[in-house]
Structure 1
Amino acid sequence: MSIDYIRRHYDVPAKRGGRIRDYQGRTGTITGTADANLTVRLDGDHHPSRYHPTWQIEYLHDDRTTDA
């Protein structure tokens, strides 16, 4: 699935390079997609984790994000 599909299907502002906060208060950067999930590299981690686009994550506003 593409980031565009996730944005439209789940009605979320997901963008590659966008920032999120997870249910534990950790922040990270959206690096891409895996199936219908977002891949997010949490700050301080070396590898991305999968997150459902609507399950207990907050999209953070960042004017530096790119739309890919």
Structure 2
Amino acid sequence: MSADYVRRYYGVPARRGGRVEFDGRPGVITSCPGAYVRVRLDGQHRSVPAHPAWRMRYLDSDPATSQAGGGRTP
């Protein structure tokens, strides 16, 4: 699976290197190894797994799609 799968399945603008806010903390998507994304939070060395549509805000995208919720939710 890939970022393309995550984008299509969840209806979010996920992409590797994209800036996000996960659970209120800024970070960057490092990979999309399955039906989730890995996010390296600012100031951290390791990435954490995150659901693409749960507590995730996409910062590098069109304002109309910056909030997750257009696709499936947990």
Alpha-carbon RMSD across the aligned residues, in angstroms, is 1.2
Normalising by structure 2, report the TM-score.
0.76
Runs of 4+ in structure 1 displaced over 6 angstroms? none
Asked if 1:9 is matched to 2:16, the reply is no
Deviations 1:11-64 (A, max 9, x none): 1000110011122x21000000232110010001101000000001100026xx
Query: Aligned ranges for residues 43-62 of structure 1 at < 5 Å?
Result: 43-61=42-60
Listed as ranges, the gaps of 5+ residues in structure 2 are 62-74
- Contact kept, 8 Å, 1:34 with 1:50, in 2: the verdict is no
Runs (5+) with no aligned partner, structure 1: 63-68
Query: For the residues of structure 1 that align with 2:14 and 2:34, how far apart are their CA atoms?
Result: 14
| Paired residue total | 61
